[in-house]
Amino acid sequence: MIPVLNKELKLSDLRQGNSLSSVVKHITQEEINRYAEASGDFNPIHIDESFAAQTPLGGTIAHGMLILAYVSEMMTVAFGKNWLSGGKFSVRFKAPARPTDTITITGKIDSIEHKEGVSHINCGVESHNQKGEAIVAGKATVKLGA
């Protein structure tokens, strides 16, 4: 496991297979509404229960960008400023996160590559709900020594 909030992260601390400290969040409609207010994304699929009930999704869902904020939180805790400047990720939304869901974000170092004096830490990232269903899956990369 990578030490939490490593402000002066050293490459020697990192190994392939290391797990990142997971992030667990309980989703509520109030939090979704708060995120809509903060982000300005008022798509009714997120905030209007009667509208959302009539769609194939059958109810409101959390903003994808809110779930990605949790992924980014995990990466920030693990890699500090290296993530804020030098982070990169590519993810797919597998299923919606719904009010009352508990979402767990996990990550693991898949590989460490060295290119032209820069180390690229490649991580697999995932999030699951309390039933074990995948919500988000993808890859994230952090550059160290850039």
Partner 1 sequence: MEQKKTSGKSPIKIEQLDVGYEFPPSSYELEPLVIAKYLEAVGRPSEQNSPAPEFVPPMAIAAYTMNAVAESFALPPGSIHASQELEFLKLVPVGTTIDCHGRVAQKVNRGQLHLLVIELEALNQDRERVLSGQATLVVPN
Which residues are paired to 103 by β-bridges? 25
Smallest distance from partner 1 to CB 111, Å: 18
Residue with tokens 């903060």, as numbered in its chain: 38
Please identify, using beta-carbon distances, which residue of 17 and 43 lies nearer to partner 1. 43
Dmax (CA) for the chain in angstroms is: 55
For 2-132, where are the alpha helices, taking DSSP H only? 29-39, 44-47, 49-53, 64-79, 81-84
Among 3, 19, 34, 130, binds partner 1 (CB under 8 A): 34
**Interface map 93-132 toward partner 1 (x if CB under 8 A):** x--x------------------------------------
Asked whether position 25 contacts partner 1 by CB under 8 A, the answer is yes
- Tell me which residue of 30, 9, 29, 28 sits closest to 20, measured CA to CA: 9
Please identify, using beta-carbon distances, which residue of 41 and 110 lies nearer to partner 1. 41
State which of positions 44-73 bind partner 1 (CB under 8 A).
44-45, 51, 55, 57, 61, 63-66, 68-70, 72-73
- Tell me which residue of 23, 12, 22 sits closest to 108, measured CA to CA: 22
Non-local (6+) Cβ contacts of 29 within 8 A are 49, 60, 99
Please identify, using beta-carbon distances, which residue of 57 and 118 lies nearer to partner 1. 57
Please identify, using beta-carbon distances, which residue of 3 and 17 lies nearer to partner 1. 3
DSSP 48: -
Asked whether position 92 contacts partner 1 by CB under 8 A, the answer is yes
Asked whether position 41 contacts partner 1 by CB under 8 A, the answer is yes
